Amino acid sequence: MFDLTRYYFSKVLLSAVLTALSFSAVAAGLSDAPEPFPQSSLQSSKDISSSGHLVLFSPIREVRNEIRSEVMARLPVMGTGQLFEINRDASREAARDHYVRELQARGAQVLFECSGVNCGRSNVWANQIFDQPRILGRDTAQDYTVAAMAGEQGEQWLTLVYTVTRGNLREYVWVEHLRVEPGALIPGFQTLNGRIRGPVVVPWQGGVTFRFDFSADDRRRLLEWVEEERAEVVLVAYTELKDNETLESALERSEQAAESLADVLGKTGISRNRIRIMAIGPVVQFASPDRQGNRVEVVVIRR
């Protein structure tokens, strides 16, 4: 029987982890922009140097021609902005997923992301935020991600990724990669000296037995993180809440899925005594389209 007391303890611990989640650089140099989506072509680029570059960390609104957002900052930055057109045989969703993986590989912390009308009006993003009229598109076919990362010497970087589908069905990606000047505070970004890496999101299906969408790249990256001395693996398990299903049942399903994934990790060489399971079920919700449904999010913590 599922231990409800343990569930509440896990929920509190997860909240602390999510609040403090941050990462350090991996082998790839943080000064380099993320690798472009392979099925895209560079249309234009520009240098960005500003003492007060506007970065949004919440949905945008326009009130009497004035930009409004609950969390936004004007930061001193230097970097680049690049506009890519996505090939017709690809999609902006695939491009978004590519950049998310690139950011994960660098140990980036996602500070905010949105999709569709939840982002606000595409017109405002294109013309007033990014000053890129070419990415004016449909409000229902856009998404935005902003992520931060810190280097070993405390330097801070931001990467902004905006994808959109225009009315003519052409699709574009705008990417800003920015070094934030020392001393500037990035909203929502906290560093823990690179002790935490992840999450690696592993969707699952099944009930009595479980099937995991766990790619070879994700396995390899996870093993590289775990090889660090004294690293602990936390499996944070989520479920969708079925019609007429009790919370206890959903939490129990999420724990069973995590236990099954722990067995899979054991076969790859990760000792079971280094794995901690936290069953969250449907209790914690995220706006990100990549963090929905039945899944286990794997986080590696260096002790």
Per-residue pLDDT of the chain (303 residues; tens, 9 = 90+): 445 445 444 444 444 444 333 333 343 467 889 999 999 999 999 999 999 999 999 888 877 777 888 899 999 999 999 999 999 999 999 999 999 989 988 878 889 999 999 999 999 999 999 999 999 999 999 999 999 988 767 789 999 999 999 999 999 999 999 999 988 889 888 655 556 777 888 999 988 899 999 988 888 888 888 886 678 999 999 999 999 999 999 999 999 999 999 999 998 888 888 999 999 999 988 766 778 899 999 988 877
Among residues 270, 260, 271, which one has the least CA distance to residue 294? 260
Classify residue 208: in a domain, yes or no.
Answer: yes
In terms of residue numbers, what domain contains 93? 40-180
Give the list of residues 6+ apart from residue 186 with CB closer than 8 angstroms, or none: 73, 75, 111, 148, 156, 158, 180
pTM, 2 dp: 0.62
Tell me what pLDDT residue 222 has. 86
**CA-to-CA distance for 79 and 71, rounded, in angstroms?**
22
Classify residue 200: in a domain, yes or no.
Answer: yes
State the Cα torsion 139-140-141-147 to the nearest 10°.
Answer: 80
Say yes or no: 155 and 211 in one domain.
no
Among residues 220, 267, 212, which one has the least CA distance to residue 237? 212
Residue at which a domain ends, from 180, 203, 231? 180
Say yes or no: 60 and 165 in one domain.
yes
Supply the CATH number for residue 210's domain: 3.30.1330.60
Supply the CATH number for residue 145's domain: 3.40.1000
Say yes or no: 46 and 176 in one domain.
yes
Tell me what pLDDT residue 268 has. 87
Say yes or no: 176 and 199 in one domain.
no
Torsions phi, psi of 2, nearest 5?
A: -65, 130
Say yes or no: 218 and 298 in one domain.
yes
Tell me what pLDDT residue 5 has. 43
As for how many domains the chain has, the answer is 2
Residue at which a domain ends, from 180, 215, 249? 180
Classify residue 109: in a domain, yes or no.
Answer: yes
Say yes or no: 163 and 55 in one domain.
yes
Say yes or no: 117 and 201 in one domain.
no
Q: Which strand (E) or helix (H) includes residue 82? A: strand 72-86
Classify residue 205: in a domain, yes or no.
Answer: yes
